[in-house]
A and B are shown apart, each in its own frame.
Chain A
Amino acid sequence: MKYLEKPIKEINDLLKKGTIKPIDLVEEAFERIESDKDLNAYITLNKEEALEKARELEGKEVDNLLFGIPIAIKDNILTKDLRTTAASHILDNFIPIYDATVVEKIKEKNMIIIGKTNMDEFAMGSSSRTSYFGAPKNPWNNNKISGGSSGGSATTIAARHVPFALGSDTGGSIRQPASYTGIVGMKPTYGRVSRYGVIAFASSLDQLGPMTQNVLNNALLLNVISGHDSHDMTSSHREVEDYTRLIGKDIKGKKIAVPKFLMSDIVDSEIIEKIESVIEMLKENGAVVDYVDMKYLDNAVTLYQIIAMGEASSNLARFDGIRYGLSAKDPKSHEDLYLETRREGFGKEVKRRIMVGSYLLSGDNAKTYYNKALSIRDDMATEFDKVFEKYDYVIGPTTTTTAYNLDDPMDDPSKSFMDDVLVIPVNMAGLPGLNIPVGFDKNHMPIGMHIIGNKFQEAEMYRLGSFIEKELDLDLNPKGGK
């Protein structure tokens, strides 16, 4: 049984003809997941309900490409009646009473939710090692991280368990793990996808996006999850386009900027070389590529920390043991309830970020740090605007290194932010960013290229992504054999 690795259109045809049923896909997905249990990709599996849903779909018309297809959901996205933990002890008994808007949309298309994927606790981290449930492993090398915070989604996609997964990206959390595991990951424009029902980390940066094995699937899932949501005032009213429409189209004459900072010595030489070779290939195919200077890119991480931790300290205040989640036993007072619940429930990194964030917003610090960061962030967005006046894309590597070892030390708190130094500016400017696998390092660990587009130019980015995908024609199956 190897249906799940077939192109989506073939699976769809087989479903339409009745050669296979949704339940065949669901059973196959669980077989794959169960044989890869040690990858620790999932926090909660939805087996019984998924099988039941598959049976339910048997009588129904196969009315769209994603009908009956298994999908994995990152565990910070609320699923009604299905445990949602954000990889935190404080929510490890939390059963939501409502579906996130994206989950509603996925259910409308009759996709089948297979389970909730592992991640960094509250999406705070870049290796998924802050998960209360232990880190997921990289399918290319089980001693390596699969990145974070959407590490579980990256693992399950790279390992070919399911064709679709949802991730969330606050400061690279879709694109960086996608790069480490050799998959396609899109962080859409801020506001393209509703955040309603996503456990907030940093509200002004969080965005959901698709993680898939190829560009077409990625665009198909973006088609489903995009659009204005009356429950999310920051979601855009802009009409949803068909994000697949430019896939496979020519790139001749397209203008590409490569910021020098992204190709500087902060990046491993092996990765630089790989990106350079892709740039050569693009030039040969008629693209115009210029190296450019861009201001503020080197400040992005600092600004990001201020904004993300400030917002997080407030967003995570609601976990107090009163209405849901973990609640400390026999508290002496309500203060005691807060202290005990949060001490027991939150992990070290989350506590650290709440404390730093609270400090950053305290008294005059709010002016010195948070408000100033917001204003420099505007400048950064303006800097990107300027580049996009002349160029269609900004490209560079997604990460400075390939995936590192699971047992690398975690004692340097700034390391986890520096892992995302190349992807964070995109969140700061609210732009879309796409990771495309472009090759491997000497240890055969995947290398990713980062394509940044102007606001709402996701379809254009898929054009370039699909072109690279087709030209390089890599074998991206960790077990080999495409």
Chain B
Amino acid sequence: MSKYIPTIGIEVHVELKTKTKIFSSSENGYGQMANSLVNEVDLGYPGTLPTLNEEVINLGIKAATILNCKIRKQMFFDRKNYFYPDNPKNYQITQNRTPIGYDGYVEIEDNGVKKKIYIEEMHIEEDTCKSTHRKDKTLLDFNRAGVPLIEIVTKPCMTSSHEAKLYLEKLKELLFYADVSDCKMEEGSMRADANVSIRKNESDPFGTKAEIKNIGSISNVGLSIEKEIERQTKLYDNGETFKEQTRRFDDKLGDTVLMRVKETGNDYRYFPEPDIPFVIITDEMIENVKKTIPMLPDERREVYKNLGVSDINTTKLVQNRSLSDYFNELLNEKINFQVASNLLLGDISAYLNKNEKLITDTTLSKDRFLELVKLMDDKTLTSKNLKDILDDILESDKSIKDIIKEKGIENITDDKEIREVIKTIIEANPESVNDYKNGHDRAIKFLMGQVMKETKGKVNPGLAMEILTEELK
């Protein structure tokens, strides 16, 4: 155990899922040809002015709401002035003095213990353009310039890399479910900076901090925090100190690397953006946005559990938003939800993954799915049957019953008929019956095999097993 207490704060930038950029009518898109989603505003052309995209304000309100933030009713934008080639106007329009959201929290759960990670503030700003360095040249792609961002800043309230990772996972899940951002760290639509310091006792002031910038994955956030704690611990143990600094995580080294020591008086010359009037957020706007927030992951997990869905299925369902959304359409039905979740997460998921489809791309309407769940639940269909007819179920509009008929699936569902077959088999195999009664469990499997053989697989194995066990008593 380390003898130091780490203090960690996280800053996250997420790109908002809007049609157009924050201050211009250019498309907000990823992966397009360089400089194809650009107009004179994005290029910081002389004479251009920003026009605020209303969608951004609405997504800002949404994010603030789901992060339990208070919402600023009257806000403005500020200019952050600094020269850099990726900054087209050499100032960035951001919110320094009136962030849209403040004093919020995200609740994480660590081994059943809940903890609130406090959000200091969240503000709206524009993204910079993307620079790529080639030998002695720098190439600039302005497609990203002006993409709307929100920056979410926690208080320095986390004490381990594990907590930081849980926070990021939770944040990502929330923003993704609320359709605020697609939160793809690999595409840069979610980026994290971690502020790390350590101290001996909780009563001590915070130690000198290092900021690790632009970490590309949640696991690397965890790794870089651990490495940083290790580095700082070594320094303190050797009686050394260090200056406040900015570092980055080097993937190949698996360690943090110094970028720059914080210069004193880093001065962004903030002042209120004169080209954008005050933005007034009314209660009505907030209410309208709230109506668009879907059921969030925590509530989904709670609801699924209460419907009898297993823990593992609950977790898996919530990990897949399109399946979870599909599942949510069924919540008022009287069905076996465990069976329904098994279906979705089992063969249907396998099909969807193989064919790279979403459930909404298939022909499985709600009514047909309900029919399927009932047929599985009352054991009319076996899982083997399901495998045989799944493609038809997901690709045609026929009713499940018609498909069953077409495929010639006639399961013996009559108890009496099955019992007759089983009795015959017991009579014909006295040794196996004897073995079973002597405690050789394997014998029952042999007998089951005989039953399936006799019925050509048309009995429900579960049902047959039940009757066989009874008959063997």
Interface residues in A306-331 (C-beta closer than 8 Å to B): 310-311, 313-314, 317-320, 322-324
A444 to B40, CA, bound (A): 47
State whether B40 touches A97 (Cβ < 8 A).
Answer: yes
State whether A314 touches B47 (Cβ < 8 A).
Answer: no
CB contacts (< 8 Å) of B40 on chain A: these are: 97-98
With A234-B277, A338-B83 already in contact, the answer to whether A361 and B271 are too (CB < 8 A) is yes
CB contacts (< 8 Å) of B49 on chain A: these are: 195-196, 231-234
Q: Does B45 contact A (CB under 8 A)?
A: yes
State whether A196 touches B47 (Cβ < 8 A).
Answer: yes
Cβ proximity bits B66-91 to A, threshold 8 Å, 1 near / 0 not: 00000000000001010111001111
- Residue among B79, B265, B276, B277 making CB contact with A314, cutoff 8 Å: B79
Report B38 CB to chain A, min CB distance, Å.
Answer: 11
State whether B90 touches A317 (Cβ < 8 A).
Answer: yes
A97 to B84, CA, bound (A): 24
CB contacts (< 8 Å) of B51 on chain A: these are: 230-233
A324 to B269, CA, bound (A): 25
State whether A324 touches B47 (Cβ < 8 A).
Answer: no
A202 to B274, CA, bound (A): 9
Q: Does A200 contact B (CB under 8 A)?
A: yes
Interface residues in B21-58 (C-beta closer than 8 Å to A): 40, 43-52
A166 to B54, CA, bound (A): 33
Q: Does A363 contact B (CB under 8 A)?
A: yes
State whether B81 touches A317 (Cβ < 8 A).
Answer: yes
Q: Does B267 contact A (CB under 8 A)?
A: yes
Q: Does B311 contact A (CB under 8 A)?
A: no
State whether B89 touches A317 (Cβ < 8 A).
Answer: yes
A338 to B90, CA, bound (A): 11
Q: Which residue of A lies closest to B46 (CB)?
A: A199
Report A319 CB to chain B, min CB distance, Å.
Answer: 8
With A317-B83, A317-B90 already in contact, the answer to whether A362 and B274 are too (CB < 8 A) is no
Q: Which of A230, A233, A338 has the most CB of B within 10 A?
A: A233
Cβ proximity bits B265-297 to A, threshold 8 Å, 1 near / 0 not: 101011110111100000000000000000000
Q: Does A91 contact B (CB under 8 A)?
A: yes
Cβ proximity bits A192-210 to B, threshold 8 Å, 1 near / 0 not: 0001111110111000000
- Residue among B43, B48, B274 making CB contact with A196, cutoff 8 Å: B48
- Residue among A200, A314, A363, A371 making CB contact with B267, cutoff 8 Å: A363
With A230-B51, A324-B46 already in contact, the answer to whether A318 and B89 are too (CB < 8 A) is yes
CB contacts (< 8 Å) of B319 on chain A: these are: none
CB contacts (< 8 Å) of A374 on chain B: these are: 272
With A338-B83, A363-B265 already in contact, the answer to whether A198 and B47 are too (CB < 8 A) is yes
User: How many of A's residues come within 8 Å of B, CB to CB?
Assistant: 46
With A233-B51, A363-B267 already in contact, the answer to whether A318 and B276 are too (CB < 8 A) is no
A363 to B83, CA, bound (A): 17
Interface of A is mostly: loop
A184 to B98, CA, bound (A): 43
With A358-B269, A362-B267, A363-B265 already in contact, the answer to whether A323 and B89 are too (CB < 8 A) is no
Q: Does A352 contact B (CB under 8 A)?
A: no
State whether B48 touches A366 (Cβ < 8 A).
Answer: no
Interface residues in A96-135 (C-beta closer than 8 Å to B): 96-98, 100
Cβ proximity bits B131-142 to A, threshold 8 Å, 1 near / 0 not: 000000010100
Q: Which residue of B lies closest to A197 (CB)?
A: B47
CB contacts (< 8 Å) of A233 on chain B: these are: 49-52, 275-277
Report B26 CB to chain A, min CB distance, Å.
Answer: 13
CB contacts (< 8 Å) of A358 on chain B: these are: 269
State whether A366 touches B85 (Cβ < 8 A).
Answer: no
State whether B47 touches A203 (Cβ < 8 A).
Answer: no
CB contacts (< 8 Å) of A77 on chain B: these are: 47
State whether A204 touches B46 (Cβ < 8 A).
Answer: no
CB contacts (< 8 Å) of A98 on chain B: these are: 40, 45
A91 to B45, CA, bound (A): 12
State whether A311 touches B83 (Cβ < 8 A).
Answer: no
A320 to B91, CA, bound (A): 12
Q: Does A94 contact B (CB under 8 A)?
A: yes
Report A425 CB to chain B, min CB distance, Å.
Answer: 18
CB contacts (< 8 Å) of A202 on chain B: these are: 274
Q: Which of B49, B79, B272, B275 has the most CB of A within 10 A?
A: B49
What are 18 A-B pairs at a CB distance below 8 A? Answer: A77-B47, A197-B48, A198-B47, A202-B274, A231-B49, A233-B49, A233-B50, A233-B52, A233-B277, A234-B49, A310-B271, A311-B274, A319-B46, A320-B85, A362-B267, A366-B269, A366-B271, A374-B272
Additional A-B contact list (8), CB under 8 Å, known A94-B46, A311-B271, A334-B84 = A96-B47, A200-B47, A202-B274, A231-B49, A231-B51, A233-B276, A314-B79, A362-B269
What are the 5 closest A-B residue pairs judged by CB atoms, nearest first? A317-B90, A361-B269, A204-B274, A203-B274, A197-B47
